[in-house]
Structure 1
Amino acid sequence: MIFAIEKGNQCPEWAFDGQIHSVFDKAINIITNDASIPWVSLLDYTLPNTPCGYRVALSMQPGFRQLKVGERVYFRGGILRFPSNPLCNIETRSAKFWKNPPLILRYEKEQLIINSKISEVGLIKYINIKLPKITIKNKSDYLSYLHLTFDKGFLHSPSRVVDNIGKGDGLTPSGDDFICGILAVLHQANKLDNQFSQVLNELTKAIQTRWHQTTDVSRHYLAQALDGDFSQPVQWLVYSLFHSSSDIDVDKALNDVLEIGSSSGADIISGILYGVEELLF
Structure 2
Amino acid sequence: MEVEEAAAASAWPGSSKRCHLLQFLLHASKRLDLRPIVKYSALEFFSGRFLPALPRKMGFCGARSGRVVRSWLVEPPRDSNLELFALVAVWIASKIHDLRPLSVKSLKALGDRIIADQHFMCRDFADAELVFMEVVEHNIGSSSIAFIYLEDLLIHFREISKLGDLLDMDVCMEILDILYETEDTSLLFNSPCSLAASTLVAAYVISVPKQTWEFPILPWVRFATSYNEEEIMKIVLTILLHVLKLDEFKENDMEDFEVRCLL
Q: Same fold (TM over 0.5)?
A: no
TM-score by length of 2: 0.33
- Which protein has the bigger strand share? 1
- Which protein has the bigger helix share? 2
Higher relative contact order (CA 8 A, sep 6+): 1
TM-score by length of 1: 0.31
